[in-house]
A and B are shown apart, each in its own frame.
Chain A
Amino acid sequence: MVAEETAVSLSKEEILRYSRHLIMPEVGMEGQLKLKQAKVLLVGAGGLGAPLGLYLAAAGIGRIGMVDFDVVDFTNLQRQVIHGTKDVGRKKLDSAFDSMRDINPYVQLDRHETALTSENAFEIFRDYDYVVDGTDNFPTRYLVNDACVLLNKPNVYGSIFRFEGQATVFAYEGGPCYRCLYPEPPPPGLVPSCAEGGVLGILPGIIGLIQATETVKLILGIGQSLVGRLLLYDALGMKFRELKLRKNPECPVCGDHRTITKLIDYQEFCGIPNQTHLEAPVSGEIEVTELKAKQDRGDKFVLVDVREPHEYQIARIPGSVLIPLGELPKRLNELNPADEIVMHCKMGGRSAKACDLLKQNGFTKVINVKGGITAWSDKVDPTVPKY
């Protein structure tokens, strides 16, 4: 199925398959051959990558690379429509490629089963004309941006949160880049993640397909692209708005006085402690098994759950009191500094912040539960549902 670089043409079967494209003069045979010759890299096979992979394959992009190292789990299925229930436990690339191959066997699919890093980004990006950012975290977003700017490749951007999405095209022929829009990321934890904040399952479908549309338009060279415009989508209000996106002359990677000329450490740039730090024992932190042992021994302590009320309704650890993190500053009087206070959340991030807040307010006997209720379900009580 490898598309020949020279003398590209469509077979009789392909002509039939793409007939609805071929009969439109804006695409036609010339456009369809452009699609077949195009090389597109999708970074991430998740919420955004799912519709992107399906539709770009169907549209007849000649070569699609995908970067992902994750495994399909049940929580993905609410939005990642490229994977099915039968795929849970499989590698996302295997599952995604099966779906794409089923839709269009004429597409060459390239596996990049790895995390995208500063070490491998250039090597992976180099072969492609367009990079589509469907990642789910700030370090990778800045990495994708910088690599695209430095290699002069368009970065088709989309991101989502709960009921809202953003899309644009960065770094197209010297146009504005992600750093022009946001010079720096928020500190870790300030903006809730999808695992914490949730996302409407349909939303990545909309945003992913806006990215797919922009990719196809750029390849065909038709229409007006989102270059220089940030498209905002609000699913609840069902409104699209657009804001002007300007090139920042002070931008460190694409501005007049560039200070970033090679890829950097993006975890550090985003203020995220590296893995060795995460694994090191942190004082004032216990495993869920130790929490269970404390309960079984009848130790005297107060267990505080800092998640939101709707999460408390889904699952809870017996004996906990609910004080959502956002309400904690106003409800400190409900806690006694003389007591030992053990705090937990879903995965341990919010409760770590809650511990810091208590310590700043003079509490000394404060303990965080590592891994939160998710770890409790894994290691102590599997009847507690994970979400």
Chain B
Amino acid sequence: MAKILIPTPLRQFAEKQDSVELPGATVGEVLSGLTAKFPDLKKHLYNDEGKLRSFVNVYLNDEDIRYMNKEATPAAPADTLSIVPSIAGGAAYGG
């Protein structure tokens, strides 16, 4: 069971939870488990082609998975996955 940390902006799509523990042998499998558990998260993490969105970064412990084996990176039970979306801090657009 790897632990996934869910950042504030995405908690509203994950029943307000800040972390969940999910099984999976790779980062991709753990993330699939996450979007299966919280379907509303899916469009925030993946684009229409099923690829991780470029403004959502995923870290295995402190390493960016883009510089490892991306979603095929093996995930061990003791690992922590972090989803780190870009935040701008106070934009006046939209609302």
Contacts and interface: CB of A to CB of B under 8 A. Distances in A.
Contacts, number: 127
Interface residues of A, number: 54
B86 A136 contact: no
A189 B63 contact: no
Q: How large is the interface on B (under 10, 10 to 19, 20 to 34, 35 or more residues)?
A: 20 to 34
Interface in A246-262: 246, 248
Given A161-B8, A164-B7, A244-B62, A272 B90 contact: no
Interface in A197-248: 197, 199, 204, 230, 232, 237, 241-246, 248
B91 A47 contact: no
A182 B83 CA distance: 13
A188 B67 contact: no
Contacts of B53: 186
A48 interface: yes
A348 B67 CA distance: 40
A194 B55 contact: no
B95 A181 contact: no
Contact of A137 (B66, B85, B93): B93
A351 to B, nearest CB: 10
Interface of B: 7-9, 12-13, 18, 40, 44, 53-55, 57, 59, 62-64, 66-67, 82, 84-95
17 contacts: A161-B88, A162-B9, A164-B87, A182-B54, A184-B54, A184-B55, A186-B55, A191-B9, A191-B55, A192-B9, A194-B91, A196-B95, A197-B9, A246-B64, A272-B93, A350-B94, A350-B95
